[in-house]
Amino acid sequence: MKHYKYLGIILALYITFQLVSDVSAGKIISLFGLPVSVTVLFFPITYIFADVLTEVYGYAHARSVIWAVFFSSIIAGLIYQLAVYLPPAIGFAANDAYTRVLGSIPRILLGGWIAVWTGGMLNDYILAKMKIWTNGKYLWTRTIGSTIVGEFANTVLFYVIALYAVLPNDLLLASIISGWLIKVAVEVILTPWTYWVINKLKRVEHEDFYDSHTNFNPFIIEAPKF
């Protein structure tokens, strides 16, 4: 089994961006006149990590990382809820602030977990398949193409599960479309950086994996192998 120098670093960054997104998702900003979560500005970076993982190390490694991120997000979410529900000490005046930031209702947590897992698995599957179809050429087509599908699933699932009947239907639809387009735009803008990172890692890790004989079952749970 190969040992990789940078797989652990990518996993750590992936988990970091996911947990930051979990906490900050409730911050709503106005973008192009539409209310969207502030995470549309940085959550797409997790899809770049996914692209790098699949392109360099292969689908199986990317799948194991998604499961690690998924479980990390669940554990963090449960701990956040515990922090909210524990009674504050006498004289502690900031409890309401903690409750507002960390006290996501269960459907928001559930929506986030389902959206992250589904979107991530779709992204990795499409990129791995497209790499075979293109014989490793036209990297931009699979990084952007996989993001279009993965981020669409992620955005639709999160908004529908977490915010249906909370936002008016027309505003919900507009927020889904705008959020999805912004996420894809971030991927497109960062494509040159993605190229540089992927090419650098392929040289340093001596790896350029093709998933010609991979079992693509997304429900296989394995610990990341460094």
Q: What is the phi-psi region of residue 33: left when phi exceeds 0, alpha when psi lies from -120 to 50, beta otherwise?
A: left
- CA 212 – CA 162 distance, rounded (Å): 37
pLDDT in tens, 59-90: 999 999 999 999 999 998 888 888 888 999 99
Domain spanning 7-205 has what CATH number?
A: 1.10.1760
- CA 197 – CA 222 distance, rounded (Å): 25
1 — pLDDT class (breaks 50, 70, 90): low
pLDDT in tens, 102-125: 776 677 788 888 999 999 999 999
Buried b (16+ CB within 10 A) or exposed e, 25-44: beeeeebeeeebbebbeebb
Query: Which of 26, 64, 25, 52 lies closest to 191, judged by CA?
Result: 52
Candidate from 13-17, 33-37, 145-149, 180-184 with smallest mean pLDDT: 33-37
- CA 45 – CA 219 distance, rounded (Å): 24
Query: Which of 196, 46, 210 lies closest to 137, judged by CA?
Result: 210
Tell me whether residue 107 is exposed, middle or buried, using C-beta atoms within 10 angstroms of its C-beta: 0 to 12, 13 to 18, 19 or more. middle
Spans of all domains in the chain = 7-205
Residue 37 pairs with which residues in a beta bridge?
A: 28
Is the whole model's pTM more than 0.85, yes or no?
Answer: yes
Provide, rounded to the nearest whole percent, the portion of the chain with pLDDT above 90.
Answer: 56
- 127 close to 143: Cβ distance less than 8 angstroms: yes
- CA 68 – CA 77 distance, rounded (Å): 14
Q: What is the pLDDT of residue 35?
A: 72
Residue 98 pairs with which residues in a beta bridge?
A: none
Q: What is the pLDDT of residue 69?
A: 93
Q: What is the pLDDT of residue 32?
A: 75
State both tokens at 54: 């699949």
